[in-house]
Amino acid sequence: MTSQDIQAINSLLEDILQELKKSTLPQRLWDSADVGAYMGVKRSTALAHICNQPWFPKAQKIPGVGRRWVPQEVMDAIRIHGNGGKTRGRPRRTAA
């Protein structure tokens, strides 16, 4: 490799880096554990009762990794739909 080749490669890498900095892709996609942590429930509960709801954002299926979600889409959907109007746990007994 000549010094001209190295300079050309460095220039190309700089161009790629600039394009990556301009992109609006999220820094990190969420898995079901992240969704559960955001909702305050276990990963299995998030998968069974939250991620499969029709209002929940579509997952991006990544081969060899699994389903992932864009964090802002998840937060927006949960902000709009909340927990579906359900309260957690058993209701308290009222004094008779």
Answer whether residue 26 shows pLDDT above 80: no
Residue 32 makes CB contacts below 8 A (sequence gap 6+) with: 43, 46, 47, 51, 67
pLDDT digits (tens, 9 = 90+) for 43-94: 999 999 899 999 999 999 989 999 999 999 999 999 888 765 455 667 778 8
Domain annotation covers residue 24: no
Considering its fold, how many domains does the chain have in total?
1
Domain annotation covers residue 59: yes
Interatomic CA distance for residues 49 and 63, integer angstroms? 24
pLDDT value of position 74: 93
Confidence of residue 10 (pLDDT cuts 50, 70, 90): very high
For the entire predicted model, the pTM comes to 0.58
Across the range 29-46, mean pLDDT stands at 92
Phi first, then psi: what are they for 62, rounded to 5°?
-110, 120
Q: For residue 84, give the nearest of 54, 42, 57 by alpha carbon.
A: 54
- C-alpha 4 chain-centroid distance: 42
Give the structural domain span for 51.
32-81
